[in-house]
Amino acid sequence: MFITDMMKTDLIAVRPETTLVDAIQLMETGNFRHLPVIDGDGKLVGMVTDRDMRSAKPSTFLSEEEYQLTFDKVMQHTVGEIMTTELLTVAPYFTLQDALLVMRQKKVGALPVVDEKGRLTGIMSTRDLLKAFVNIMGIGEPGTLLCILVNEQPGQLKKIVDIVTEENVSMGSVLVARDWDEKKRAIFPYLLTNNVIAIKKKLLDQGFELIDPMGWYLGHLPQKK
Amino acid sequence: MNTTGFVFDERYLLHKTFNGHPECAERLLSIIGGLSTAGLLEKLMLIKAEPADQRWIEAVHNIRYIMKFEEACLWGLPDFDHADNSICRDTYEVAQLAVGGVLKAIDAVMQGEVTNAFCAVRPPGHHAEVNQALGFCYFNNVAIGARYLQRQYGVDKVCIIDFDVHHGNGTQHIFDTDNTVFYYSIHEHPSFAYPGTGREFETGYSGGEGFTLNSTILPGRGDEEYREKLLGDLVPAFESFAPEAVLLSAGFDAHESDLMSGTSLTTEGYDFINDTIMELVNTHTNGKVVSVLEGGYQLDILPVLVTNHIRKLMGV
Ligand SMILES: [Zn+2]
């Protein structure tokens, strides 16, 4: 999955000479947390975040009158003066995995995506990432989660997939927990159906163990000493 | 002892699902068998079902959806909207008759012929959305019943209590923005169970904010958690809403022996649900309640649970 499939592309960008008062209005009406700054060729030159904006505002300890006066003055400054220019950008060929790892390691909430000429093509934010995960887990569609314990040996997943396929059921996703116990894995297929009885019966007939996921959860809670 | 109405029609057996499908005609036969063995069948007042007038179905469902469903059945397609929703040529008419049975039961209760009623109908309804069939459901029997109560009998406030192990997504969505119908559902947690909706933070929105309430039960949990949630969530919400009539989406698939779910509610746990609800309707709605069958797929336990449920309705 490339980030071009999930990033936001209908962007609102500003120029470095845009005043802070205009920029704040854009961010508030559009509910953006990140505002990209581009030059006349569409090249990304900086970013302004809602945090940059907050720290540009005068102190709230000032009297109302002083606050308004300073505020009006500050707001006539330009975006170019407060924007971040040391940018972490990514390329359109980045995958979801890349974005996930970069955002976690660099602790950023949004990644501008630029083409080989440095032009802004999109922004990938944690919001887009969350949406992508709902999609990947298949939980946007009605379904049932099964919890199956299998021996750590090849071919187990295939058997499960075969049973599900025989019953003409689609899978929304499959998650695997490797650290269940030493020689076992837990497999969690999310089946896009309400009709799970036949599948459960076949799994039991073939020797699979259907587990109570709460057993695992409780096993991982801190134990009383 | 209450006079309890009972809706059943042999034509409900004509909705044939594919071989091995859990929502099968044998479900109703097992219920009739259970009631007759228990000697209850002759003590109930049989209510004759009639196909619902289409305008009542249109009170909830989109007309194009209704027509699409009818066409799918007439063409002899194997399923409708999703492979789960197995159909046959008779399914459309049976679904009309299921709605009609619920409306007749409401008539009988509202006209004082019976105190309350149980509708042994199929196909079930609570997953059916305004324009989508889901989870074996085509027409939302209970939702249509709520609209009927309001428009035919001028009832202002209706409460729907849904104790099927699955969340009634259809019913919730139909009344999402409505503050005249309170929807309460207790079901297995949506991270594990179909259809994946009904989290506790779903409470209705715009005008209907606060008129939807969901209680979730984690897999493997049963009687104790049901007791806690019913007393802690349902009872106070019901009392503050103060409905004039109550409809039940009565699902019996939360039982520990029903493979459809991961909850482990016992037969006694179901009785606690029955007792809690009966106490609420007896003190708030003069006992007016119409109970409508939803799920329940374990054919040995289903008749036992339905018989117990009907005993509580009769007050015996
Ligand atoms: Zn159910």
What's the gap in Å between the CA of A185 and the closest CA on chain B? 18
Q: By CA distance, what is B192's nearest residue in A?
A: A145
What's the gap in Å between the CA of A145 and the closest CA on chain B? 5
Please report residues of B whose CB lies closer than 8 A to that of A147. Answer: 192, 219
The answer to whether the beta carbons of residues B182 and B243 sit under 8 Å apart is yes
State the residue range of the domain holding B108.
4-314
Please report residues of B whose CB lies closer than 8 A to that of A205. Answer: none
Q: By CA distance, what is B258's nearest residue in A?
A: A197
- What's the burial of A35, exposed, middle or buried (CB within 10 Å: 0-12/13-18/19+)? buried
Count of domains for chain B:
1
| B147-168 pLDDT tens trace | 999 999 999 999 999 999 999 9
Please report residues of A whose CB lies closer than 8 A to that of B21. Answer: 195
Calculate how far, in angstroms, residue B253's C-alpha sits from the geometric centre of ligand 1.
Answer: 6
- According to CATH, where is 3.10.580.10 located in chain A? 3-135
Asked if B194's CB is within 8 angstroms of A143's CB, the reply is yes
The CATH code of the domain that includes B203 is: 3.40.800.20
Closest by CA to B20, choosing from A193, A161, A195, is A195
Instruction: List the single residue in A147, A194, A212 with the smallest CB-CB distance to B84.
Output: A194
What pLDDT, on the 0 to 100 scale, is given for residue A219?
58
pTM: 0.86
Contacts of B223 (CB under 8 A, 6+ apart): B265, B266, B268, B269, B272
Q: pLDDT (tens digit, 0 to 9) for every residue of chain A, 225 residues total?
A: 889 999 999 999 999 999 999 999 999 898 888 899 999 999 999 999 888 888 888 888 888 888 888 888 888 899 999 999 999 999 999 999 899 999 999 998 899 999 999 999 999 999 899 988 888 888 889 999 999 989 888 888 999 999 999 999 999 999 887 776 778 888 999 999 999 999 999 999 999 998 877 766 655 555 444
Q: Which fold has domain A139-219?
A: Alpha-Beta Plaits (3.30.70)
Residue B90 identity: D
Q: By CA distance, what is B188's nearest residue in A?
A: A144
Instruction: List the single residue in A143, A168, A196 with the smallest CB-CB distance to B196.
Output: A143
> What is d(CA B225, CA B57) in angstroms, rounded to the nearest whole number?
36
> What is d(CA B57, CA A122) in angstroms, rounded to the nearest whole number?
46
Whether the CB of A144 is below 8 Å from some CB of chain B: the reply is yes
Calculate how far, in angstroms, residue A191's C-alpha sits from the geometric centre of ligand 1.
Answer: 16
- According to CATH, where is 3.30.70.260 located in chain A? 139-219
Q: Which of B61, B127, B189, B255 is catalytic?
A: B127
What pLDDT, on the 0 to 100 scale, is given for residue A220?
54
| Pairing label, strands B289-293, B245-250 | parallel
| B55-107 pLDDT tens trace | 999 999 999 999 999 999 999 999 999 999 999 999 999 999 999 999 999 99
A3-135 — its CATH code?
3.10.580.10
> What is d(CA B65, CA B107) in angstroms, rounded to the nearest whole number?
27
Q: Which residues are within 5 Å of ligand 1 (an ion), measured at CB?
A: B 164, 166, 251, 253, 295
Asked if B127 is an active-site residue, the reply is: yes
Whether the CB of A145 is below 8 Å from some CB of chain B: the reply is yes
What's the gap in Å between the CA of A224 and the closest CA on chain B? 21
